[in-house]
Amino acid sequence: MTTLDTGTTAPAKKRALSFEWLGVAPFIVFAIMFLILPTLYLVGAAFVDEKGGLTLANFAGLGTPQIVAAYWISIRISGASAILGALIGLAIALALIRGKLPPGLRAAVMTFSGVASNFAGVPLAFAFISTLGRLGLATVILKFVFGIDIYKAGFNLLSFWGLTLTYLYFQIPLMILIIAPAIDGLKKEWSEAASTLGATPWQFWRYVGLPILWPSFLGTLSLLFANAFGAIATAYALTGSSLNIVPILLYAQIRGDALQNPGLGAALAVGMILITGFANVVYLVISARAERWLK
């Protein structure tokens, strides 16, 4: 016996809510509570004056010389630490993965990088003061053993290059962790084919290796910039208010006694969010294109 096809289909069953969503629920709640809601609050507070009325004066205040100088030095420190961290981290990662170093060394460096990339704040500042401060261990050894006084030579830990050097402690390991998968994606067959065709190692890296790594490098560079631009704990613990970068100025505007202006502080925070958000978007776009290329 056969049945006739009436041209109708049974209504599709509604998909039940999967329990797999419970696995990501903590992340969603965390993102809403500590990322989305604070951002919305800051954006709203940036348009409110001290009396609770709507105003654009807070954003107009971003054009004052002190705030412009703070943004400029923050961009310079973030750019310098990002560029140096990316170049040094790339060189270390290439030596570990493509070089002829002992295999066990890679595991040790990767483990250290995972720890060092998250080591910041007061402990990092104290470590650098104890090492490169005026009475730090390295400073004393250089002065009394080798006769080199780095502070008379112009070095100062509480300065632009001092803070940049401190940031490199977590910028370099972060670069190693992010760029390592991209270097692993360079197939050995490519270098063997280039060698068979008569290319030197330098020619392989110039025309094949580095162009393939270039998108990943640029994406990680953008991420390192955002990572340094938003750092406050290390800078505040190390330099206090002697170096006028945006995070420290933001802290002074919101919590300080002399410069307290929550509205201007919120506008400063919105400016930081826009800069770091743009850097992160650049990283996501470039890294997505790099992944497609490596596939």
Least confident of 115-119, 203-207, 244-248, 249-253: 249-253
C-alpha distances (whole Å) from 20 to each of 12, 15, 31 are 21, 13, 18
Mean pLDDT across 150-170: 91
What would the pLDDT profile of 181-191 be if each residue is shown by its tens digit? 888 888 888 88
Mean residue pLDDT of the chain comes to 85
C-alpha span between 110 and 96 (Å, rounded): 10
Report helix, strand or coil for 48: strand
Tell me the C-alpha distance between 52 and 262, whole Å.
Answer: 11
Angle between helix 137-144 and 122-132 (nearest 10): 10
pLDDT average, residue stretch 219-223: 90
Burial class (CB in 10 A: 0-12, 13-18, 19+), 88: middle
Q: How far, in Å, are 34, 52, 200, 238, 264 from residue 37 at the CA level?
A: 7, 20, 55, 30, 19
pLDDT of residue 1: 47
Region 228-234 average pLDDT: 86
Q: How confident is the model at residue 16 (pLDDT cuts 50, 70, 90)?
A: low
Surface-to-core class of residue 121, CB atoms within 10 Å of its CB (0-12 exposed, 13-18 middle, 19+ buried): middle
Tell me the CATH number of domain 25-294, given options 1.10.150.170, 1.10.3720.10, 3.40.50.150, 3.40.50.300.
Answer: 1.10.3720.10
**Residues 214 and 221: beta-carbon distance below 8 Å:** no
What pLDDT does residue 92 have? Answer: 94
